[in-house]
Structure 1
Amino acid sequence: MRIESPREAASHFTPELTALIEDPLYSERVWADPRLSPRDRSIATLGAIVALYRPDELRAQLHRAVDNGLTLEEISALITHTAFYGGFPAAISASVIAHEVLSPDHH
């Protein structure tokens, strides 16, 4: 079963916002910019989302990170590393969400 992303869910109420996110964020201007690989973008994005505690977006970006080649071990290390810069409470919450989203026993 496909889960609706936060962006898709928001589009029901704010379609204009979704359109603004699609272009430039997911157009050639940001996510497709060749200066960073999709994997590197996922690392940067997860770090920011963990530090800022954005749980809904974190769920979607965890899937994207795996699709972009990050392993569960790398995501775990990233969350641990981010704790020192973004705060332990945010990292602990991110760890719980990552476990829920990515662990085989939660699917």
Structure 2
Amino acid sequence: MTEKTAPSGARRMFGDFAPALVDYTDNVLFGKVWERSELSARDRSLITVASLLTGGAAEQLPFHLARARDNGLTETELIEAITHLAFYAGWPKAMSAMTVAKNLFRGDH
């Protein structure tokens, strides 16, 4: 990490508390896995949002929904994906994910 580079979210959250997890997150997950050319960043984002929803990991969704928008998915597409997943992942998980999406996209708190 150079002086000009802001610390990653993982580093801000865990710093010296869990340095191996920070390293794996920054260098392997976001450094190597996300940069593979076999899938576009847009596709990876859609897959990640779907996976987080199905796994019930709503606390990770704000970051990944924002990243999905940055990677080319529209809010309409993300809302539709969440709606579609309600039938496959379960209504409560989709409702939780939609709450996160609404708060992020509309600024409701």
What TM-score comes out, normalization by structure 1 length? 0.84
Report the aligned-residue RMSD.
Answer: 1.8
Q: Is residue 90 of structure 1 aligned with residue 93 of structure 2? A: yes
Q: Is residue 25 of structure 1 aligned with residue 29 of structure 2? A: yes
Structure 2 counterpart SS, 1:26: helix
Structure 1 counterpart SS, 2:47: helix
What TM-score comes out, normalization by structure 2 length? 0.83
Alignment of 1:4-15 (within 5 A): 5=9, 7-12=10-15, 13-15=17-19
Residues 35 and 87 (structure 1 numbering): CA distance in 2 closer, same or farther, change over 3 Å? same
Listed as ranges, the gaps of 5+ residues in structure 1 are none
CA distance in 2, matches of 1:16, 1:36: 26
Aligned length: 101
| Larger RCO (CA within 8 A; separation ≥ 6) | 1
CA offsets 1:4-53 (integer angstroms, 9 cap, x no match): 84x3443233222111112211123x101101000000000000001111
Q: What letter corresponds to residue 30 of structure 2 in structure 1?
A: Y
CA distance in 2, matches of 1:78, 1:9: 30
Q: Is residue 50 of structure 1 aligned with residue 59 of structure 2? A: no
Structure 1 stretch displaced more, 63-72 or 10-19: 10-19
Larger radius of gyration: 2
Listed as ranges, the gaps of 5+ residues in structure 2 are 1-7
Q: Percent identity?
A: 36
